[in-house]
Structure 1
C-alpha cells in the first residue's frame, strides 16, 4: 500500500486572488501589500488582472470586506493585510481578537482560503521588522501560503 501525499506548489497562473488591506498604519500595511503582490506575481505567476486589492479603514473592517469577496465567488483565495500595534488601552486586544476571529469565520463559513497577514505587535519597531526588515515580510508569507493552499484545495477536489 502506498501513501498519498498532497503538497501545495506555488505557481498557479490562473488563480484569482483578492487582497483586503487596512489603511490604518498604512506605512506598514503598504509594505505588506508590496510583499504580497511581489510574491503573487513572482512565485505564483499570477497576472495583474487576476488580483484585486480592496482598501478598508482599519483591521476591524477587514472581515466584512473578506466576507463580501468570499460570497462573490470570484476568488480562489483571499489575503488579509493589516497592522494592529499595542497601545496603552484594552483597544488593542479587542481589535486584534475580533479581526482574527472574523477572518477565521469567513474562512470556515465560506469554505474559502483566507490567509491572515494581519500583524499584531507590541511596538512599531516589531511591525517594521515584520513588514520587510529583519523578520521578513509577513505580507509575502501570507501570499505564499494562499498560493500553496489554492493548489492543495484543487488537489483535494480532484
Structure 2
C-alpha cells in the first residue's frame, strides 16, 4: 500500500510486549519543536501505554538532530538505561546541509548503539517539507515517536533475551 494511504503507526498486526522491566532514555531535538514535541509526546505516551513506569523514562533535550548522537552517548555512559530513543526532524532546504546532517545523524546513532551494545532507536524524520513532517508526527501517517517507542520496547526485549 502506498504511504499516502497508510497510517504507519498501526501495530494491530504485531504483539508489543510489556516495557515494565526496562528503563528508557528519550533524546529529543529542540530544532523544529513543532514537530519534535509531537514526536516526543507520541513516544512518551506509548511507553506509558506499554507499562513503562514514569520514573523509568529519562528525557533530555538537545539543540538539534546532530546533537542526538552525543545526547544518546551521554545517557548510555551515565545512566542505567536499556534503550535510547532519538527523536528529531531535518527538513530539506536549498543547500546540501540536509544531506550531510541526515547522513551524520544516521551513522552517529548507529555507532552509539554499537559502542554501548544497546538499542539506540532512529526516530528522526527526514522530510521534504513541514507538511510531510507534521503528517508523520501525529498526522495522517501516524506518529514516528510512537513507532520509535514500540521499536525500543521490542529491541530491549530482544537484547535481554539474547544475554547469556
Same fold per TM (> 0.5)? Answer: yes
1:132 to 2:110 alignment? no
Per-residue Cα deviation, 1:71-106 (whole angstroms, up to 9, x for no partner): 225100000000000000111111111111110000
Q: What is residue 31 of structure 1 aligned with on the other side?
A: 38
Gapped regions of structure 1 (runs ≥ 5): 1-6
* RMSD over equivalenced CA pairs, Å: 1.4
Rounded Cα–Cα distance in structure 2 between residues aligned with 1:107 and 1:72: 15
1:123 to 2:126 alignment? no
Rounded Cα–Cα distance in structure 2 between residues aligned with 1:49 and 1:70: 16
Q: What is residue 94 of structure 1 aligned with on the other side?
A: 100
Q: What is residue 56 of structure 1 aligned with on the other side?
A: 62
Q: Offset of 1:10 from its aligned partner?
A: 2.1
Structure 2 SS opposite 1:115: strand
Rounded Cα–Cα distance in structure 1 between residues aligned with 2:31 and 2:67: 11
Residues matched between the structures, number: 151
Rounded Cα–Cα distance in structure 1 between residues aligned with 2:68 and 2:15: 26
Q: What is residue 4 of structure 1 aligned with on the other side?
A: none
Preserved CA contact (<8 Å) 2:29 2:87: yes
Rounded Cα–Cα distance in structure 1 between residues aligned with 2:19 and 2:131: 34
Q: What is residue 116 of structure 2 aligned with on the other side?
A: 110
- Name the TM-score, length of structure 2 as normaliser: 0.88
Q: What is residue 3 of structure 1 aligned with on the other side?
A: none
Structure 1 SS opposite 2:93: coil
Structure 1 residues 73, 54: closer, same or farther in 2, change over 3 A?
closer
Q: Offset of 1:12 from its aligned partner?
A: 2.4
Preserved CA contact (<8 Å) 2:28 2:87: yes
Preserved CA contact (<8 Å) 1:8 1:150: no
Q: Offset of 1:15 from its aligned partner?
A: 0.9
Rounded Cα–Cα distance in structure 2 between residues aligned with 1:91 and 1:103: 18
Choose 127-136 or 9-18, whichever is displaced more: 9-18
Gapped regions of structure 2 (runs ≥ 5): 1-13
**Misfit runs of 4+, over 6 Å:** none
